[in-house]
Amino acid sequence: MMDSQKGIVKTAGLTYIIIIVLGVLNSVFIDARLIIPGDINQTVNNILANQFLFRLGIAGSLILYLLVIVLSALLYLILKSVNKNIALSALVFRTGEAIIGVATVLAGFLVLNLLNHGFNRTDAQLNIISTLLVARVDGLYIILALIGVGGTLFLYLFYKSSCIPAALSLWGMFTYLSMLILSFIVILFPGLHRIMALVVFGAGALFELSIGFWLLVKGIKIKTTTG
């Protein structure tokens, strides 16, 4: 039983790390290279000239969101003995994150479908493609709200169980609450999101790498507190 829990914890840690690596690679080496904000014509040219790279980004994003489901299930298994209802609620929110994420992946497929079937660069076609690409980005802020709630709940259970350092748990709760707040700031004040998003995404990536390595290397021992 202990060996089984140890394996689950280490797998969760590794999954945290893979998710962050995939997200950073996709953002820095694919989207930043292909998507030019405010210039749909150049963006279309980039995608047409690098369709395999764009498809690689779609595949990477799909794997990422599938891994979010895996990670959420693993965290539920790890933390349900602390408080099953809270762990289940966190699982639901993180699963919702993955569902919205897959929807943003679908938007990428629709872009490719438009470009490869009768595309002749009309204003209407360009507007549809631009809308789909914007929807991919906007979907990330809905994802932020869901990960903000789900992540905070999971880290609260880590804090309550004292199975990782309190400072790490509190850092995580602060980070995920920042994501939740950012999502609503973007909705209400869209012009303010760029710099804040960089800060919050960067802090989130650093935290998830940190907890990922902690779970992978140090592991944990859960002390049951409530049913």
Over residues 150-168, the pLDDT tens digits come to 999 999 999 999 999 999 9
> What percentage of the chain exceeds 90 in pLDDT?
79
Judged against a pLDDT cut of 50, whether residue 20 lies above it is answered with yes
pLDDT for the residue numbered 182: 87
Over residues 72-92, the pLDDT tens digits come to 999 999 999 999 999 999 999
Residue 50, phi then psi, degrees to nearest 5: -135, 50
pLDDT for the residue numbered 192: 62
Least confident piece of the model among 48-52, 76-80, 139-143: 139-143
Judged against a pLDDT cut of 70, whether residue 225 lies above it is answered with no
pTM assigned to the model: 0.91
> Residue 214 and residue 209: Cα distance in Å, rounded?
8
